[in-house]
Amino acid sequence: MRIVELSKKKLLAFVLAAAVSFGAICDVDAATRAEIGQITVNKRGSNFKCWNKDAASYQALTKYVKEITKKNSKSYIPVEDRIAVFDMDGTILCETAPYYLSQMLILDRALHDKSYTAPAEDRKFAQALDAWLKNKNTGKKPGSSSPHFASVFSGLTDPEYTAYVKKFMAKPVEGLGNLAWGEAFYLPMVEVIKYLQANQFQVYIVSGSERQLVRILVCDMLAIPKANAIGTDNAILAAHQGNTDGLKYVYRKDDYLVRGKYRGKNLQMNKVTAIAREIGKQPVLAFGNSRDDASMLNYAIYGNKYKSAAFFVLCDDLQRELGNLEKADKCRKLAAEYGWNVISMRDDFKTIYGDNVKRVTVSR
């Protein structure tokens, strides 16, 4: 009997320690990836810690989930149809310090990787992007980055690419102190994902970023199956395939897979097409942050046989984030036009990354 009592005491101590540890995440330093992965929200939603609970967006979300999970509710949604889709950059992950993670990876690979010589076109693009980032108010923004992203990592195996990305994830973001790229997740939005998982939602990340990058950043940390990562795709080839068409090539005993060329950007209507193709069901919840997410958000709420909702994250915080009020105002009007719920990072989040993450001056 005493052994059982001691075990219970130890278990209680562990639970209390975990609770204290999680509480600290929203109060002090940026959370580590391990700490982000340990965030939990119960199915009742009674232990959210990073939200202002009087926020309209918080009230709308929790009311919605409670309503559609009650079996006696007319809005009840069966577990198998509880599908939520999230954009990544700017919705759950920083995209402003100073720019998208994928573009920062291009700069790192093309301009700073001493073990690699980038093709001339990729290096030229990286130099133009670097120059534009020094002052976004002057000069012309470079064109599409995705073909260059595919090119500079072409030929790498999955383990090689994963190792490169993970090394970069340890580097600090620019403009926010005490924060590494791999930790630059919006803690309140992580809580949303955990809350939905507790209520038996299938969570998908539907991003314009490259699919494997999404998997490395998000899937293991947030307990999202890798099959639930939908992103921009590059070709995947057998090592000895060369330019041989896949219909004519037979995988060899000494083959292995390598990354290939760009195949098309997963934005706007392409996100809807990918959801239909890869999930096969209409989502009932969608979260985004830019016009490129509009089709995905509208697909969730238009013509849905279930009660559904869309949420739009506004990067409008100038103190704890590198917000853009002009963009936020445009996004607020877009949300009003289409009927999406607005999430204000400034007004609705108690913290974004942890209160010791501060804006810092950066000279590029």
CATH topology of domain 2-96+185-233+263-348: Rossmann fold (3.40.50)
Segment 213-243, tens digit of pLDDT: 999 999 999 999 999 999 999 999 999 999 9
pTM (predicted TM-score):
0.91
Q: What is the pLDDT of residue 158?
A: 97
Of the chain, the percentage scoring pLDDT greater than 90 comes to 87
Q: What is the pLDDT of residue 11?
A: 45
Distance CA 259, CA 13 (A): 47
- For the chain, the structural domain boundaries read 2-96+185-233+263-348
Q: What is the pLDDT of residue 29?
A: 65
Distance CA 296, CA 230 (A): 12
Query: In angstroms, what CA-CA distances link 88 with 37, 146, 213, 249?
Result: 16, 16, 11, 35
Segment 1-52, tens digit of pLDDT: 343 444 444 444 444 444 444 444 554 467 899 999 999 999 999 999 999 9
More confident residue, 358 or 24: 358
Amino acid at 134: K
Segment 127-165, tens digit of pLDDT: 999 999 988 877 788 989 999 999 999 999 999 999 999
Q: What is the pLDDT of residue 25?
A: 52
Segment 263-321, tens digit of pLDDT: 999 999 999 999 999 999 999 999 999 999 999 999 999 999 999 999 999 999 999 99
Mean of per-residue pLDDT scores for the chain: 92
Q: What is the pLDDT of residue 16?
A: 41
Q: Which residues pair with 286 in a beta bridge?
A: 85, 310
Q: Residue 300's closest CA among 317, 314, 279?
A: 279
Q: What is the pLDDT of residue 5?
A: 43
Segment 193-209, tens digit of pLDDT: 999 999 999 999 999 99
Distance CA 363, CA 101 (A): 18
Question: Residue range 347-362: average pLDDT?
Answer: 92
